[in-house]
Chains A and B, each alone.
Chain A
Amino acid sequence: MNNFIIQLKNDLRINKRNLINPIILFIIIDVLAILAYFIFKHNTGMSYEDLMTITMDADLGANLGEFPRLLWTTAGMGVVSFVGLIMVILSLSLNSSALNLDNFRKCEIFYRSQPISVWQYAGSRYLVGIFAPLAIMIAVGLFNLVLVIPFLAPLVGFEFLPSLHGLFSSIFIYFRSMLVLGSLSFLASAIFREKAFMKMLLFFIAVQVMFVFAHFSLDVPMVDIFGYLIKLINPLQNFTKVSGIANMESLDGVYSFLSMRNIMFNWHCLLQVISSAVFFVSGVFIYSRKEVN
C-alpha cells in the first residue's frame, strides 16, 4: 500500500503540468467573464440585476414560486458544464498515455525495474487519469459556484442545497462518461505504443467497415459498434423521460430528471462501472505481458 501511495505521488508529480494547465484556463475564463460583466455594465449603464428583472418579468409560463430553487439547481449544473467537458477530454488524454508514455520517453525500463507490482503501478496511473480530473471538476465547480453567488443571491436569495444538488448531479453525469472513455483509452494505452486512442478509434472504424461489407455482401445482420459505444459512454442513455423538462416548467420535473435513480442507481450506470473495470483489468493484463524495450 505504501508503495502505491509513493507511486501515486510520483504520478501526480509527473502529470503536474497537465493537471494545472486546465485550472489556469478556467481561472482565465472566470476572470474574463467577470471583466465582461463590468464592461457591459459600464457601457450600457444596465446592471445584471436589471437584466434579470426583465427576464423574470417576462411570461415564461413557469411557476415563479419555485424559481429560486430552480435557478440555483440549474446554476449548480451550469457552473460545471464547460469544466466537465474539458475534464472528460483531459481524462481521455491522460489515460491514453498512461502506460505507453514511459516507453516513448525511454523511462519505462526504469519504472519496470522498481520493486512495485505492475497492478499498483498501472493502478496509480489509472487513478490519476480518472480521479484527478474528477477532483479538478469538483474544485473548479465549487469555485465557480461561489463566484456566481454574489451575482445571483441578491436577486433570488441563495439556496444552498439545490445549488449543490445541481452541481454534484452534473459532476456525476460527466464522471460516468469520463469513467468509460478514460478506461477505454487506458486499455488503448496498454495495446498501442503511441497515439493510442486514435489507433483504437481507427480499429473500431475498420471493424465497423468490415461489418458493413459483411452486411451488404453476405446479408449478415448489421452490428453498429459505434452505436453501442455511444450508448455505453452516454450518461443520459437510461434517463427516464420527464415531461416538461425541456422548458424547465416544474421543479418536480427537474428533480425527477436529477433523481438518484437517473444519475446513479440504474442498470446503465452499473454497466458503465463494470465495463470500465473490464477495460482496466484487460489493460493491466496486456501491459504486464508486454516486453520492456
Chain B
Amino acid sequence: MSDNFYEIKGLNKYYGKFHALKDIDLSIGKGRIIGLLGRNGAGKSTLLRSMLGLLRYEGDIEYLGTDIHKLNHKLFEEVAFIPDVNSIDDRLKVKEMIEYVKGIHPRWNEEQFENLLAKSELPLDKSIKKLSKGMKTKLYLLLTLSLDTGMLLLDEPTLGLDIAFRKEFLNTILGDYFSEEKSIIISTHQVEEVEQILQEIVFIHKGKVILHEDVEKLKDSFRLVSIEGDRKDELEKAGARQITHTFGRYHGILPIDVEIEGAEYNRPGLADLFLAFTGGDDE
C-alpha cells in the first residue's frame, strides 16, 4: 500500500477547448493539512472534483495505490468532501438529512457527531430550506466532520459562516478532527484565516501547480523587504517579486539570501508569496 493518500500524475482536464488542468503531478501524504491556493478559475475546484472522480480527466489519480475509478463509490468511504456551493438537499429536514448520512456512511462517528451537534446549535426539526446560508454550511460541516474518513477535501468550507464559528471551526473543530492518520486539503480565498494551521501549500495558477511546498520552509526561503520611496530601482535590481507601493515605501518579496542595505525585513504571509509567485496580475 502506498505511503501517500493521493498520487496524481499527468492530470489534464479540458472543458471543451479550455484546458482547465495542465499536467498536474501531486502527492498528498498522511497526517498533513494542505492549503490549495489559487485565483478564481485557476482550477482548484476542478482539481478537487477530479480527485473524487466526479469529472472525467486524462492522467492517473490513485488513492492509497489504487486507481480511483476502480474504487468507484467506495472512494467516498475514505474521502469526505465539502463542495464550494451549498449543495445540501433542502427538501429534507435537518434530522432527516443527518439520518440519511448516518445510515449510508460506514464511517459515521456518533461521538464526534454529538460533540459537533452541541457546538453547532442546529435546529433538528427545522426544514433545511428554512436555514440561513451559514446554518446550511454548518450542517454540511457537521455531516462531513462526523465521518472518520482518511481524507477530507474542503472547497471554501467557511462560506457564509459568521466570524465566531469560522474561528471555532478552524481553530478547534478541524483540530479535533485531524490526526496523524488523516489529511485535509483546504481550498480557500481566505488564506490569512487558515495560514496558521497549514503545513503544506499548493499554489495553482491557470490550471498548473506552480508550487507545492512545506509552509514553514517556504516562509523561511523568502523575506518581505520594505524600502524607502525613492529606492524602487534597488528592489528591481535585486530581482524582487510583487513590488507594491504603500505609505511612501516600496515592498517586495526577495529570496532570504538577498540583502539590500538599509531595508526592513519581515516574514512574508502566504498571500504575499502567492502574489509573488503568480505575478500579482490576472494574466
Which A residues are closer than 8 A to B by beta carbons? 2-3, 6-7, 9-10, 13-14, 102, 105-118, 289, 291-292
Q: Is the CB of B92 within 8 A of A13?
A: yes
Considering only CB atoms, which chain A residue lies closest to B140 in the complex? A110
The segment from B80-88, B159-167, B212-220 found at the interface with A is: B80-88
- Min CB distance A14 to B, Å, is 4
Partner of A114, one of B55, B92, B104: B104
How distant is the Cα of A6 from the Cα of B106 in the complex, in angstroms? 13
- Is A118's CB under 8 angstroms from B73's CB? yes
Determine if A6 and B83 form an interchain contact, defined as CB atoms under 8 angstroms apart. no
Q: How far is the CB of A101 from chain B (nearest CB, A)?
A: 10
Q: Which of B59-67, B95-103, B224-232, B266-274 contacts A (4 or more CB under 8 A)?
A: B95-103
Complex Cα distance, B52 from A108, in Å, reads 14
Known: A6-B103, A112-B54. A107 touches B87 (CB 8 A): yes
Q: In the complex the two chains form, what is the Cα distance from A292 to B103 in whole Å?
A: 23
Is B89's CB within 8 Å of the partner chain A?
A: yes
Please, which residue of chain A has its CB at the minimum distance from the CB of B50? A291
Asked if residues A116 and B54 are in contact (CB atoms below 8 Å), the reply is: no
B53 to chain A minimum Cβ distance, whole angstroms, is 9
Asked if B90 contacts A291 (CB within 8 A), the reply is: no
Chain A residues within 8 Å of B81, by CB: 113
- Please indicate the chain A residues that have their CB under 8 angstroms from the CB of B87 in the complex: 106-110
Q: Which of B91, B96, B105 has the most CB of A within 10 A?
A: B91
Residue of A with least CB distance to B55: A291
The reply to whether A10 and B85 form a contact with Cβ atoms under 8 Å apart is no
Q: Does residue B277 face the partner (Cβ distance < 8 Å to A)?
A: no
Docked Cα-Cα span, A154 to B278, in Å, equals: 89
Smallest CB gap from B153: residue in A: A113
Chain A residues within an 8 Å CB radius of B177: none
- Which residues of B are at the interface with A, using a C-beta cutoff of 8 A? 49, 52, 54-56, 72-77, 80-81, 83, 85-92, 96, 100-101, 103-106
Q: Contact: A113 with B88, CB < 8 Å?
A: no
Bound-state Cα–Cα, A188 to B104, Å: 27
Kindly provide the distance from the CB of A284 to the nearest chain B CB, expressed in whole angstroms: 13
CB-defined A-B contacts under 8 Å, sample of 13: A13-B91, A105-B90, A106-B85, A107-B87, A109-B85, A114-B101, A114-B104, A115-B105, A115-B106, A116-B104, A291-B54, A291-B55, A292-B54
Cβ A106 vs Cβ B86 within 8 A: yes
> A246 to nearest B CB, angstroms?
47
Task: Return chain B residues, CB-CB under 8 Å to A112.
Answer: 54
CB distance from A2 to the nearest CB of B (A): 8
Interchain nearest-CB distance for A175 vs B (Å): 27
| Least distance between B122 CB and chain A CB atoms (Å) | 17
Determine if A114 and B85 form an interchain contact, defined as CB atoms under 8 angstroms apart.
Answer: no
User: Contact at B56–A291, with CB atoms within 8 Å?
Assistant: yes
Report how far A106 CA is from B275 CA in the complex, Å. 33
Are A109's CB and B54's CB within 8 A? yes
**Chain A residue at minimal CB-CB distance from B102:** A6
Contacts of B106 in A (CB 8 A): 115
B-chain residues with CB within 8 Å of residue A118 when the two chains form the complex = 73
Question: Are A107 and B100 in contact, CB atoms less than 8 angstroms apart?
Answer: no
Q: Say how far B126's CB is from chain A's closest CB, in angstroms.
A: 15
Residues of A within 8 A of B86 (CB): 106
Q: Which residues of A contact B75 (CB under 8 A)?
A: 115
Q: Report B76 CB to chain A, min CB distance, Å.
A: 4
A115–B54 touching, CB < 8 Å: no
Closest chain-A Cβ to B59's Cβ sits at a distance in Å of 15
B54 surroundings in chain A (CB, below 8 A): 109, 112-113, 291-292
Q: How far is the CA of A113 from the CA of B88 in the complex (A)?
A: 11
CA distance A14 to B55 in the complex (A): 26
Q: How far is the CB of B22 from chain A (nearest CB, A)?
A: 18
Q: For residue B77, give the distance in angstroms from its CB to the closest CB of chain A.
A: 4
A116 lies within 8 A of B73 (CB): yes
New contact pairs (10) apart from A110-B89, A113-B81, CB-CB < 8 Å: A105-B89, A106-B85, A106-B87, A108-B87, A110-B88, A113-B54, A113-B76, A114-B76, A114-B105, A115-B75
Give the docked Cα–Cα distance between A287 and B253 (Å): 49
Q: Across the interface, do B55 and A107 meet the contact criterion of CB distance under 8 Å?
A: no
Contact of B52 among A3, A7, A106, A113 (CB under 8 A): A113
Q: How far is the CB of B50 from chain A (nearest CB, A)?
A: 10
Q: Are A6 and B49 in contact (CB under 8 A)?
A: no
Contacts of B56 in A (CB 8 A): 289, 291
Query: CA A14 – CA B97 in complex, angstroms?
Result: 11
Measured CB to CB, the closest approach of chain B to A111, in angstroms, equals: 7
CB distance from A119 to the nearest CB of B (A): 9
Residues of B within 8 A of A107 (CB): 87-90
Q: Give chain A residues whose Cβ lies under 8 Å from the Cβ of B73.
A: 114-118
Query: Shortest distance in angstroms between B73's beta carbon and chain A's nearest beta carbon?
Result: 5
Q: Please, which residues of chain B bring their CB within 8 A of the CB of A14?
A: 89, 91-92
Complex Cα gap A7–B100 (Å)? 8
Chain B residues lying within 8 Å of A117, measured Cβ to Cβ, are 72-73
- Separation of A116 and B54 alpha carbons in the complex (Å): 14
B141 to chain A, nearest CB (A): 13
Smallest CB separation, B123 vs chain A (Å):
18
In the complex, which residue of chain A has the Cβ closest to the Cβ of B77?
Answer: A115
Nearest-Cβ distance from residue B233 to partner chain A, whole angstroms: 49
Q: Which residues of A contact B103 (CB under 8 A)?
A: 2-3, 6
